[in-house]
Amino acid sequence: MGAIEKALFGFIDKAVEKAKKRTLPSHLEDDGLLYCDICGAPIQCRQEILGKEMILPCICKCEKAENDRKKEEERQAEIANNIIRLRAACFDSAEMRKWRFDADDGKQEETSKISKNFVKNFDKLKADGRGLLFFGDVGTGKTFQAACIANGLIDLNLSVRMTTIARIVNDLQGSLSGRNEYFDKLCRYELLILDDLDAERNTEFVNEVIFEVVDGRHQSGKPLIVTTNLTRKEMLMAQDKNKKRIYSRILERCYPVNVIGIDRRKASLASDFAEMKKLLEG
């Protein structure tokens, strides 16, 4: 047998094997061929191949639909698995995986609206490399809002990394692989969130790291979200040359959102004590 014949019969064998996996009901008719019980179409045909009559399998429309359904099911399962991986890789703290818009207490109505719209319009914002700058006092829920955005985008199967400069500095100091690869990886995420900027030590090395991260996102045209306790004015008026170049890149691409409102930590403390008061003073 020549190579072409061999390939042809190999192909036929595969088709026959595949046809055996059919799960939809079928029946044999008088002509000796199998027919689909559902649509009535033949699922076999006689064909002369190299002078020899053979019975070959064919696919009816129900089997085609069934195959498409299985493929779609596999695709959805793959996406679901990917989403689990993306969420595990996004946050430094597992707790944040649960921070979602539906857990929002609604006390930051304006900010929540902006955050939800950021997720909704991410495609357009991403194309222009546009991000957000959440600023405001300690405990106003900036980190919560940013984590909700991260989870919302991960639900859409997009890669997000939410971290702090302190963590990045730590990773770089402990990393065996190259610094460049580390920064390249940070640039590959569809969205990077730097939480609590300016809470870190103010050293030349740290400032260099911040600049490299912020500038990397800027250069790659990818969005960045920053949360900070600094005011926008403090960022605009920064005198320090290193800080100035960092802030100017952030202010250029990140839409400022002033997160005001009650101190969440104090409020939660108060309700903790309310529980305790009930328990203790009954």
Indicate the residue among 69 and 266 with the shorter CB distance to Zn ion.
69
DSSP letters spanning 200-257: S---HHHHHHHHHHHHHHHHHT--EEEEESS-HHHHHT--SHHHHHHHHHHHHHEEEE
Q: Which stretch binds Zn ion (CB under 5 A): 7-15, 58-66, 151-159, 229-237?
A: 58-66
Element (H, E) at 131: strand 131-135
Residue 38 touching Zn ion (CB under 5 A): yes
Q: Name the residue with tokens 């191949």.
A: 49
Indicate the residue among 62 and 259 with the shorter CB distance to Zn ion.
62
- Kindly state the smallest distance separating residue 41's Cβ from Zn ion, in Å: 5
- Kindly state the smallest distance separating residue 42's Cβ from Zn ion, in Å: 9
Residue 197 touching Zn ion (CB under 5 A): no
Pairing of strands 131-135, 52-57: unpaired
Q: Which stretch binds Zn ion (CB under 5 A): 32-40, 137-145, 185-193, 257-265?
A: 32-40
Window 66 to 125, contacts with Zn ion (CB under 5 A): none
Of 47, 51, 42, the C-alpha closest to 12 is 47
Gap between the Cα atoms of 214 and 206, Å rounded: 12
- Kindly state the smallest distance separating residue 25's Cβ from Zn ion, in Å: 9
Among 22, 26, 34, 60, binds Zn ion (CB under 5 A): 60
Gap between the Cα atoms of 102 and 123, Å rounded: 22
Gap between the Cα atoms of 278 and 272, Å rounded: 10
Among 62, 146, 149, 197, binds Zn ion (CB under 5 A): 62
Partners of 160 in the beta sheet? 191
Indicate the residue among 63 and 104 with the shorter CB distance to Zn ion.
63
Question: Under rule CB under 5 A, how many of the chain's residues touch Zn ion?
Answer: 5
Residue 59 touching Zn ion (CB under 5 A): no
Gap between the Cα atoms of 55 and 28, Å rounded: 13
- Kindly state the smallest distance separating residue 64's Cβ from Zn ion, in Å: 9
Q: Which stretch binds Zn ion (CB under 5 A): 50-58, 62-70, 184-192, 222-230?
A: 62-70
- Kindly state the smallest distance separating residue 54's Cβ from Zn ion, in Å: 22
Gap between the Cα atoms of 197 and 210, Å rounded: 9
Residue 65 touching Zn ion (CB under 5 A): no
Which runs of consecutive H residues, i.e. helices, occur in the chain?
Answer: 3-20, 61-90, 109-120, 122-127, 142-155, 165-174, 179-188, 204-220, 232-236, 241-253, 264-281
Tokens of 28: 């044999």
Indicate the residue among 38 and 267 with the shorter CB distance to Zn ion.
38
Indicate the residue among 7 and 39 with the shorter CB distance to Zn ion.
39
- Kindly state the smallest distance separating residue 20's Cβ from Zn ion, in Å: 16
* Residue type for position 273: F
- Kindly state the smallest distance separating residue 27's Cβ from Zn ion, in Å: 11
- Kindly state the smallest distance separating residue 28's Cβ from Zn ion, in Å: 15
Indicate the residue among 60 and 160 with the shorter CB distance to Zn ion.
60
Binding site for Zn ion (CB under 5 A): 36, 38-39, 60, 62
